[in-house]
Amino acid sequence: MQRSLLLLCLLLSVFSFPALAQEMGPARPLVASGTTSMLEQDSPEARKLALDEALRAAVEEALGWLIPSERIVRFYPLLLNRVLTEPMEYVQDYQIIHEGVIFGLYRVSVQTTLYLDRLKQDLRRLGLLLSSSERPQVAILVAERTDPENSWHWWWQMPPAEHRQLFFSQALAQLISARALVPLDSNLLMESFPEDPIYQEPILRDVQGAALARALGAQVAVLGQVSHQPASDGAPAISNGSLRAVRADSGEILARVSASAQVQPSSEDPVTDYGFTALAERLAPHLVDGILAPFVVVSRTPSEATVQVIGVQSYGDLILIKEYLQSAPGVKEIRQIQLSGDLGSFGLILAGDLRDLSNALSGYDFGSFSTSAELAGDNLVTVRIRRKR
Q: Tell me: pLDDT of 1 over 60.
A: no
The arithmetic mean of pLDDT across residues 5-10, rounded, is 48
Query: What pLDDT digit, counting tens, does each position of 123-133 carry?
Result: 988 999 888 77
What is residue 171's predicted lDDT score, i.e. its pLDDT?
Answer: 95
CATH H superfamily, domain 132-297? ABC-type transport auxiliary lipoprotein component (3.40.50.10610)
The arithmetic mean of pLDDT across residues 363-376, rounded, is 89
CATH topology of domain 303-387: Alpha-Beta Plaits (3.30.70)
What is residue 37's predicted lDDT score, i.e. its pLDDT?
Answer: 86
Q: How far apart are CA 120 and CA 288, in angstroms?
A: 18
Query: What pLDDT digit, counting tens, does each position of 12-22 carry?
Result: 444 433 333 33
What is residue 18's predicted lDDT score, i.e. its pLDDT?
Answer: 38
Name the residue ranges covered by the structural domains of the chain. 2-125, 132-297, 303-387
The arithmetic mean of pLDDT across residues 223-238, rounded, is 90
* DSSP calls for 236-269: PPEEEEEEEEEETTT--EEEEEEEEEE----SS-
Per-range mean pLDDT, top range of 132-136, 342-346, 356-360: 342-346
What is residue 90's predicted lDDT score, i.e. its pLDDT?
Answer: 92
Q: Tell me: pLDDT of 52 over 50.
A: yes
What is residue 265's predicted lDDT score, i.e. its pLDDT?
Answer: 65
Beta pairing partners, 109:
33, 98
Q: How far apart are CA 45 and CA 28, in angstroms?
A: 30
Angle, vertex CA 188, rays to CA 185 and CA 194, nearest 5: 110
Q: Is-contact 279 242, C-beta < 8 A? A: no
Q: How far apart are CA 181 and CA 173, in angstroms?
A: 9
Query: What pLDDT digit, counting tens, does each position of 285-336 carry?
Result: 999 999 998 888 654 567 788 999 999 999 999 999 999 888 876 788 898 8
For all residues of the chain together, what is the average pLDDT? Answer: 85
* DSSP calls for 78-106: HHHHHTTT-GGGGEEEEEEEEEEEETTEE
Helices and strands (H and E) in the chain: how many: 12, 14
Share of the chain above pLDDT 90, in %: 49
CA distances from 270 to 109, 167, 276 (A): 53, 15, 14
Query: What pLDDT digit, counting tens, does each position of 252-278 carry?
Result: 999 999 999 988 766 555 557 889 999
Query: What pLDDT digit, counting tens, does each position of 82-99 carry?
Result: 999 999 999 999 999 999
CATH of 2-125, picked from 2.30.30.40, 3.30.70.1050, 3.30.1660.40, 3.10.20.30, is: 3.30.1660.40
Query: What pLDDT digit, counting tens, does each position of 162-177 carry?
Result: 888 899 999 999 999 9
